[in-house]
Chains A and B, each alone.
Chain A
Amino acid sequence: EAGVTQSPTHLIKTRGQQATLRCSPISGHTSVYWYQQALGLGLQFLLWYDEGEERNRGNFPPRFSGRQFPNYSSELNVNALELEDSALYLCASSRALTGGQETQYFGPGTRLLVL
């Protein structure tokens, strides 16, 4: 079974630009989660998509947005990049929630560097 994949592995942008990060979930998984892992801050929850809809978002400004496609893959967009957006962005996927809590499986991440 193929795991969660993310692209690109590395991304270098300058302040004010836009970044687009992509994630493909494990086959059969309908939920996709995005996290920001900045140095020393652990993982900060960004967004949760399920069945094509945004279900929840963390405490991030609106310039962090995304979407989920009909094939359940997802895209994270970061507009007006700032230096502090430099981080590892992790995507995770899980099966649909059916009353319990499904385990999240993580991808390898996209390392974003903003210069």
Chain B
Amino acid sequence: AQTVTQSQPEMSVQEAETVTLSCTYDTSESNYYLFWYKQPPSRQMILVIRQEAYKQQNATENRFSVNFQKAAKSFSLKISDSQLGDTAMYFCAFILNSGGYQKVTFGTGTKLQVIP
């Protein structure tokens, strides 16, 4: 069974600073996908970034980047130049897709507060 652990329930960062959110997972599979989703207060979940496990290069989306360490089963999210709009719950997700079968596992989330 797959597990996803987000060990930081809450974090805070000063506006314009950089923050890293951690995510570790456990699986015996080799072909899977990892996602970071953001859920702002009272607003819906939106995709931040995705990473295919077979890709060695770390994904980047503007101010958001990941540090994907496959051997260590780690998938951290770095937010650079933090903005007030980054205040949200961040969820790490692991999706195993094999032969039309999908298994989806989300972490419990990290609440990020960006301080002006």
Contact = CB atoms under 8 A, between A and B. Distances in A.
Q: Do A and B associate with each other? A: yes
B100 A55 contact: yes
Contacts, number: 54
What bracket does the count of chain A residues touching chain B fall in? 20 to 34
B105 A105 contact: no
A40 interface: yes
Given A101-B33, A101-B52, A101-B97, A45 B47 contact: no
Interface string B84-110: 000000010101010011111111110
Contact of B105 (A45, A103, A107, A108): A45
Contact of B106 (A45, A56, A105, A109): A45
B104 A97 contact: no
A43 B102 contact: no
A100 B43 CA distance: 28
B47 A42 contact: no
B35 interface: yes
A35 B91 CA distance: 13
A101 B35 CA distance: 11
Contacts of B37: 106
Interface in A83-115: 90, 92, 97, 100-101, 103-109
Interface of B: 6, 33, 35, 37, 43-47, 50, 52, 91, 93, 95, 97, 100-109
